[in-house]
Structures are given as C-alpha cells and as structure tokens.
Amino acid sequence: METGAFDDFAKSSFRPQESLSIGAQLHRILRADIIQCDLLPGQGISEIEMSKRFSK
C-alpha cells in the first residue's frame, strides 16, 4: 500500500484554515475576479456589487 497519497491527504485536509481579515478576503476575491476576466483592473465596483461577490 502506498503511503504517499495518505501523507498528502493528511497535510492538506486537516490543516487549519488561515483566518483572514475581511479586507484580505475581499482582496483575494477581487484578484480572482480580475484573473478570470470577470472584472477589469481599475474597473469601478459598487458596494452592493461587492457584497454580492462576497456572499457567494
């Protein structure tokens, strides 16, 4: 039996999730949206639209 797969599973699945501030979470969401071309760099976004993106 291979133990390599179990080692990877144990390292990634049970690692505590890092706790990010709201600002860091929003930055991560906006960055992902820009990379996926859902949002253009420098494009204006309303507070309502931001809350919709954050609540996904």
Q: What pLDDT is stored for residue 7 in this prediction?
A: 58
Q: What pLDDT is stored for residue 48 in this prediction?
A: 92
Half-sphere exposure of 20 toward its Cβ, with a 13 Å CA cutoff?
A: 9
- How far is CA 51 from its chain centroid? 15
| Alpha-carbon separation of residue 40 from 12, 22, 26, 35, 56 (angstroms) | 32, 21, 15, 9, 19
Q: Give me the tens of pLDDT residue by residue for the chain, a chain 56 residues long.
A: 455 555 555 555 566 667 778 888 888 888 998 999 988 988 998 999 888 877 87
pTM of whole model > 0.85? Answer: no
Q: Where are the domains of the chain?
A: 20-56
Q: At what angle do helices 22-35 and 47-54 cross, to 10 degrees?
A: 90
Say if residues 54 and 47 touch (Cβ distance below 8 Å). no
